[in-house]
Chains A and B, each alone.
Chain A
């Protein structure tokens, strides 16, 4: 578990692709630089889509933690 303080938490479990990624993108749009956003997603596609988007958009993927039937992603808005 990360020690970074979570600014916003998104529970996208049960949401189908591309819902979790799009919700994260919306949160990044609305957020401030430095915000730390947590996304919980049960969609398999998120495991590749979210890290790939975070890298392309030059934000920081702090953590990916698999849990029971879902994954937890923690992202810092870097710019």
Chain B
């Protein structure tokens, strides 16, 4: 009898792990992806929607079209995971039985955690939010623009900094930069979570006149007064406020008592096993791992999980471990970008922003649909390894 493998979530990680397992195991496994929407969204594109450079319909495809033909897709919401029984309960009734479970349920936005945030701020972390922000920016005639983060952890750590650089360029081209003030409200004592990247980008922020307020952890937004308040007791006045909403893990993880208070899965940093369960794996945003919540993380974790499950199915000891590999681009405006390539042992050494990395990001965004979900990005692609392991040409 083939091994029954259930993958919860049809995002980057879930789709890739399902395709790899089907490819590796063939008739030895029956792989089922469970996803409530049946749609696959390319979320890194929302940043460009907000700036009027991308259309929403480019960023979504039917999950079925991205899965190998032999992978089953259940367009269902999983409501409870039963680790001991080896089942997943579905909202519309019934249970799915599994021998191996991959939880790739991602993260969700919870703007309601911050009073006034939904009414008083804009965001580009959902398609709807990005389209609303794009509309607002089109009519923005100058003023105080504040960009901040309303909770850690959040998806795609470079995105707020990227938005700040890109919106500065946007306002400049629109001719309203001179009457605009742009400021990044950072929850940390620097612009970005990673110190080396912060040191690299700070001079560019200074050069473009982008202000920085540090240790600003958003506590509340007062839309009528146009004021955002921090936990540290500071207030910032705004005309346009763009905040990354707080994030939380999936409800099914919380309801199944598998997560921590934030709903993140306690996951082994190397084996990616969840909570000591040998047959349950956590992937992507859903985990509590101290690394970026990003598609890139899920992309590099998926082959490890596929390999470990394949070994278990074949009755051999799993050998492959996740080393914390992540690769992100960071747009710095003016057609330039840098890259962050790192793992648990090698902090990033981001190169000076240049056109090549901007072009690489542009290319990656366009090639995504035909490459990443199917596992067509080669392991030794020059941009995928930390610089200590492979130094790419700049």
Contacts and interface: CB of A to CB of B under 8 A. Distances in A.
Do A and B come together as binding partners?
A: yes
Contact of B152 (A18, A45, A52, A56): A18
A28 B215 contact: no
Interface stretch (B91-99, B188-196, B359-367): B188-196
A15 B152 CA distance: 14
Interface in B143-183: 152-153
B390 interface: no
A53 B189 CA distance: 8
Given A25-B231, A57-B231, A49 B188 contact: yes
Interface string A14-30: 01111101100100110
Interface residues of B, number: 15
Interface in A45-63: 45, 48-49, 52-53, 56-58
A58 B188 contact: no
B188 A29 contact: no
A29 B214 CA distance: 18
A36 to B, nearest CB: 18
Contacts of B187: 18, 22, 25
Contact of B217 (A25, A48, A52): A25
A8 interface: no
B231 A18 contact: no
B315 interface: no
Interface in B343-369: none
A29 B231 contact: yes
Contacts of B189: 48-49, 52-53
Contact of B195 (A17, A25, A52): A17
Contacts of A49: 188-189
Contacts of A45: 195
B255 interface: no
A58 B47 CA distance: 35
B378 interface: no
Nearest to B194: A17
Nearest to A79: B233
Contacts of B195: 17, 45
B156 to A, nearest CB: 16
Interface in B196-244: 214-215, 217, 231-233
A62 to B, nearest CB: 19
Interface of B: 152-153, 187-189, 193, 195, 214-215, 217, 231-233, 290-291
Given A21-B188, A25-B187, A53-B232, 6 more contacts: A16-B290, A45-B195, A56-B214, A57-B233, A58-B232, A58-B233
Interface of A: 15-19, 21-22, 25, 28-29, 45, 48-49, 52-53, 56-58, 79
